[in-house]
Structure 1
Amino acid sequence: MPLLKLLIINFKLLIMLGTLKVFCFDLDKLTAGSEQHLFDLLTYREKERIIKYVNPLDRLQRACGRVILKRMLIEEGYAENVLQYIRLDQYFRPYIDHLIDFNISHADKQVVVAMSMNTRLGVDVEKVQEIDISNFDRVFVDDEADKIKLSNDPIRYFYELWTKKEAVLKANGKGFHLPLSAISIGSDSASCEAEYWKLQKMQVHPDYCCHLAFSGNQVIEQVTLEPSFLF
């Protein structure tokens, strides 16, 4: 095949494949006083919403997530004041316009922000820690509950399934208006309300589980951020 024709075919394939960006940040990289610095980069409305959280870690997680989102949106050509245009749909899912979709998740010291220009998506990150799995039996269908119990590492497997389901719920957009048991999970795919979602495990930190749910054909770009990106 001639080189020029091959290059044209590859270029068309790249156009067909969207890019889904996943930016990850470890809050332990921040220095003392960073919370105020992050707050200075947010809109008044964002600050008012965040300061309602009593726990300093909750405030820091949310401020960091919003600043990362802001930086990502600016990279895509949005204005410096883009955060003031964020709205909530009928299920309280944040959005800006029909051109782009984004999702934020955080757990303990990890903050993850996913974004794409041409697909619906959801992301969930959870810290793996000891819990009583029996308290969540109603969340899983019978075969899922059995797989958890028979797993070599039931706690880890629980979080693998949990983050997959949460990511799909967030991509679907209805959140907790739908039960987690309504989602059918496969190894790298899921279905919910007759919608099909692809699943991708994200390597964020050894002590955490993180999954991404999305539709269509996507090239996933994962970036581990340094504080310089925020400030």
Structure 2
Amino acid sequence: MIDSRIKICCEFVKLNSSQIYDSKLDEKGVKLFKFKISDYVDVLSELKMLLNTSEIERAQRYYHQKDSNRFIVCRGLLKLILAKEIGVDVSRIELSKDANKKPFLAFCPELHFNVSHAENYALIALGLQELGVDVEYLSKDFNFTEILPTVFSVPEINAVLTAENKNKTFYKFWTRKEAIVKATGKGIDDNLLKINVLDGDNFIDSTFQLKQNTQVVSFTVDHDYIGALAFKKGKIHVENIILYPLDSLLKEFIR
């Protein structure tokens, strides 16, 4: 009998990094960029010039200045990264939204990207297939025990409560679920309980909105930050997920 269940394979990895930006992206790899938002506030006016009118209006609607700054930095850097990857002037980078309100490039739909931010860190992922990325700050003040039954299965709850580092285990599972949700682009937050993300192989029923086997890798972003990347299992090799520093890519723009 054919197993119709969907497999979700999860693991914690140490990502490879490169100081040299390689413009050749293929279906077996993913490019990841991590950066501190505060490092780019000094060039906020330059990054703001890369935004269109609607994006500037969106930035102005934020109540807190730090949230406005974060949007400008993340959107401006995303546009610069996309322009560099495709080999076009950044002025050509205009983001559209699909039926699920997920941003994409209309003139280059084969290039997928995803952005996540938490506190002072942000991640940008590029690939040639649908993917999702998430980063979270390992907050020591958040009482997560109250929400465990609403987002985690019983085995996941047991794993959190019996872990040596409960806080990190909670955020490891949480970022994995968020990355999967972002990879689908279909807003399946209401079904987080059904997405099992324990280390190793997990299985869900194929009637669920997730229609393909999925791989999720967790990784350390910084001392108090953890990240997760989700993508179609079997296409991408973990060793081809490369972490690039932004400084080497953007030195021509930011001096």
For this structure pair, what is the TM-score category when the shorter chain's length is used for normalisation? 0.7 to 0.9
Q: What SS class does the counterpart of residue 185 from structure 1 fall into?
A: coil
**Are the aligned partners of 1:122 and 1:171 in contact in 2 as well (CA < 8 Å)?**
yes
Change (3 A) 1:174 1:21: same
Instruction: Name the structure, 1 or 2, with higher relative contact order (CA <8 Å, separation 6+).
Output: 2
Helix, strand or coil for the counterpart of 1:184? coil
- In the TM superposition, what whole-angstrom CA distance separates every residue of 1:151-191 from its partner, at most 9, and x where no partner exists? 11111111010000000000011135543213121426666
> 1:93 matched to which residue of 2?
102
- Give the whole-Å Cα distance in 1 for the aligned partners of 2:200 and 2:244: 21
Is 1:20 the counterpart of 2:27? The answer is no
- Considering fraction of residues, name the structure with more helix: 1
**Aligned-pair CA distance for 1:15:** 9.2
2:227 is equivalent to residue 210 of structure 1: yes
**DSSP-derived class of the 1:41 partner:** coil
TM-score by length of 1: 0.83
The match for 1:109 among 113, 116, 120 is 120
Consecutive unaligned residues in structure 2, runs of 5 or more: 1-23
CA RMSD of superposed structures (Å): 2.4
8 Å CA contact retained: 1:67, 1:230: no
Give the alignment's TM-score, normalised by structure 2. Answer: 0.76
Report Cα offsets for 1:26-71 as digits up to 9, x if no partner: 123235x433332122222211112211112211222121122112
Cα offset, 1:201, TM superposition: 2.1
Q: Does 1:181 pair with 2:202?
A: no
* Runs of 4+ residues over 4 Å off in structure 1: 14-17, 188-192
Match of residue 61 from structure 2:
52
Tell me the number of residue pairs that the alignment of Structure 1 and Structure 2 aligns: 215
Alignment of 1:60-75 (within 5 A): 60-75=69-84
Look up the match of 2:13. none
State how far apart, in whole Å, the 2-side matches of 1:142 and 1:123 are: 25
